[in-house]
Amino acid sequence: MENPLLAKRYPEEGYVAAVVDTGYEGFVAVPNKIFHRLALDQLHQERRTVMLANGVLLNSTGTYATIHLLNPDSKLDGFVETYPDLDEILVGTEMLTNLRVILDYCTKRIRLAKCV
């Protein structure tokens, strides 16, 4: 993940694991600590309302950032948001609509690639 305006990356090296959440209609949601480490809180932010799977409504705060996929040449820009008590990175359907998603139950892996 990258904030290209302030040259911040998370993590600085390597990659992170994320939960693919097809019930989440957004692009990417991250815990508050990652949002702050990317300095996304220093950019213009929008507020949105997020409905959790249990029907609870939460207010989120977000802005635009870049997500790098495992292939170094593949990156996507989109709205990255955070909300209280989020403790994992969520990839939502807005990001998935730009990707080919291959779920391999045998190896317990998901492969993502940009649509061509």
pTM: 0.89
Residue 55 sits in a domain of what CATH number? 2.40.70.10
Range of the domain at 30: 2-114
Q: What is the pLDDT of residue 88?
A: 96
Instruction: Tell me the percentage of the chain whose pLDDT exceeds 90.
Output: 66
In tens, the pLDDT along 51-100 reads 887 888 999 999 999 999 876 568 899 999 999 999 999 999 999 998 88
Asked if residue 26 has pLDDT above 90, the reply is yes
When divided into structural domains, the chain yields a total of: 1
Omega cis (within 30) before 11:
yes
37-41 long-range contacts, CB within 8 A, separation 24+: 37/8, 37/10, 38/1, 38/2, 38/3, 38/8, 38/9, 38/10, 38/65, 38/80, 39/3, 39/6, 39/8, 40/3, 40/65, 40/80, 40/82
In tens, the pLDDT along 90-108 reads 999 999 998 888 889 999 8
